[in-house]
Amino acid sequence: MAKKTIDQIEVSGKSVLTRVDFNVPLEDGQITDDRRIRAACATIKSICDRGGRAVLIAHLGRPAGEGYEKDYSLQVCAERLSELLSKPVQFPSQDCVDETAAEAVNAMSDGDVVLLENLRFHKDEKRGDAEFAAKLGSYGDIYCNDAFGTSHRSDASMVLTPKSMAGKPRVAGFLIKQELMFLSERLESPERPYVAVLGGAKVSDKIGAVERLIPKTDAVLIGGAMAYTFLAAMGIEVGASRVERDRIADAKRMIELAAIESCDLHLPKDHVCSTEFAERAGDIETFDGAIQAGYMGLDIGPKTQGEFCRVISRARTIVWNGPMGVFEWIPFSIGTQQVADAMAEATEKGAISVVGGGDSAAAAAKFNVEHRLTHVSTGGGASLAILAGDPMPALDVLDEG
């Protein structure tokens, strides 16, 4: 999936319409994690340093799509980006396609940066409206996609806007380049043993990745709530744990596929459970094997932690997508922390470790190991889509490298 990148084209005197991922978490109007903004800086600096004009478009949160909403304004992102770049970032309007926004783009000088307001203030962004996409496309001489976290979606700015710019360069930014290098190229010919660690709440979210990874890997470790659908498929009592009954047949099929492909499929052998889905309420017990009625599994138990860590310690390539339990709550955080630490230790001994974004990236940050891992993705859904081999229309439309 090699794509032409922003450093391979001339940008001097040209407007580079750059789709970035500034969908950052906010609390009381303040950014609590600016990793996605920092990740876009290399591409923006490359454009500006070479005399280009960076016209940035992005979304934030899930506004209603009926117009401006203060709580979802990108102005706070413009202010943070200005600090990171040590230069002004223009933020001209409360609408990304009104006359004020267009005038600001037309008035840009070489080296300037403009961030336009939240694309999702328009329903046309999510529903993929061609006219809206073309308005965005009119802002650029070049299209650059550096929004990996949204690259599995078919939003107007991701697919129809670059299509509307046919005949103009359509390239990837440095973040996309890095993501593809680790999630696609490095994992296509991995050094072995190759281990996949999958967790999270739902089998339905991960089944495509499980099916594609089993034939490629030497071992697959499954934790999180999704493990209980697999255990239920094996006839093991899981108490009140979350089970997707409509996915039991899929789980059985994956268990059979692992046997056919000689892939070691590891499921939890013991479980940290509670009678309540809460951090500090309910009775907490650890069960070996079957889970008692009325209890739900919220983390892998100590035996499973040891087994998973031993497998990880022997790996030379590791990909991780999804936590082992409710890691945000202290009583159920140990399994995910143990896996994160084991991956960091394996990396320091020479393994390649690739972490999907979303909760896995949040866990790596929480347990202070992200700097000890090879690559932590900025996009959970996008990284999962690549692992599952799903279509990526936002990347397919870019020029081949």
DSSP states along 228-265: HHHHHHTT--BTT----GGGHHHHHHHHHHHHHTT-EE
Q: Domain end: 178, 200, 225, which one?
A: 178
Pairing mode, strands 284-288 and 142-145: unpaired
Pairing mode, strands 270-274 and 296-300: antiparallel
Note down the domain range covering 210: 190-388
3-state secondary structure of 343: helix
Q: Which amino acid is at 123?
A: K
CB count in 10 Å sphere of residue 61: 15
Both 359 and 288 in a single domain? yes
Query: Which of 127, 96, 144 lies closest to 397, judged by CA?
Result: 144
Question: pLDDT value at position 389?
Answer: 87
Q: Domain end: 127, 154, 178, which one?
A: 178
Question: Distance between CA atoms of 104 and 259, rounded to whole angstroms?
Answer: 60
The answer to whether 93 touches 100, Cβ cutoff 8 Å, is yes
Residue 398 lies in a domain: no
Question: pLDDT value at position 69?
Answer: 96
Residue 241 lies in a domain: yes
Both 224 and 322 in a single domain? yes
3-state secondary structure of 145: strand
Provide the angle, in degrees to the nearest 10, between the axes of the packed helices 248-260 and 203-213.
Answer: 20
In this prediction, the residues of the chain whose per-residue pLDDT falls under 50 are: none
Residue 320 lies in a domain: yes
DSSP per residue, 33-71: --HHHHHHHHHHHHHHHTT-EEEEE---S---SBS--GG
Question: pLDDT value at position 1?
Answer: 64
Q: Domain end: 178, 201, 221, which one?
A: 178
Residue 397 lies in a domain: no
Both 168 and 244 in a single domain? no
Q: Report, as residue numbers or ranges, the catalytic residues.
A: 36, 202, 358, 381
Question: pLDDT value at position 378?
Answer: 87
Both 84 and 152 in a single domain? yes
Residue 83 lies in a domain: yes
Residue 396 lies in a domain: no
Both 356 and 231 in a single domain? yes
- When divided into structural domains, the chain yields a total of 2
Q: Which amino acid is at 96?
A: C
Query: The whole model's pTM is what?
Result: 0.88
For residue 195, give Cα distances in angstroms to 79, 81, 157, 249: 41, 37, 35, 24
Both 79 and 202 in a single domain? no
Residue 393 lies in a domain: no
What is the domain-level CATH number for residue 255? 3.40.50.1260
Long-range contact set of residues 273-277: C-beta below 8 Å, sequence gap at least 24? 273/239, 273/241, 273/297, 273/298, 274/298, 274/331, 274/332, 275/240, 277/326
Question: pLDDT value at position 381?
Answer: 86
Centroid of chain to Cα 202: 16
Both 246 and 383 in a single domain? yes
Q: Could you tell me what percent of the chain has a pLDDT over 90? A: 90
Query: Which of 11, 31, 12 lies closest to 23, judged by CA?
Result: 31
Q: What residues have CB less than 8 Å from 324, skipping those under 6 apart?
A: 199, 223, 224, 299, 300, 308, 335, 336, 338, 339
The answer to whether 167 touches 333, Cβ cutoff 8 Å, is no
Question: pLDDT value at position 205?
Answer: 86
Residue 400 lies in a domain: no
Question: pLDDT value at position 189?
Answer: 86
Both 322 and 201 in a single domain? yes
Both 126 and 216 in a single domain? no
Long-range contact set of residues 40-44: C-beta below 8 Å, sequence gap at least 24? 40/81, 40/146, 40/173, 40/175, 41/81, 41/84, 41/85, 42/173, 42/174, 42/175, 43/6, 43/18, 43/144, 43/146, 43/173, 43/174, 43/175, 44/18, 44/20, 44/81, 44/85, 44/113
Both 221 and 151 in a single domain? no
Q: Is the peptide bond before 193 cis (omega within 30 degrees of 0)?
A: yes
CB count in 10 Å sphere of residue 68: 13
Q: What residues have CB less than 8 Å from 225, skipping those under 6 apart?
A: 200, 201, 202, 241, 242, 297
Q: What is the pLDDT of residues 211-256, one digit of tens each?
A: 999 999 999 999 999 999 999 999 999 999 999 999 999 999 999 9
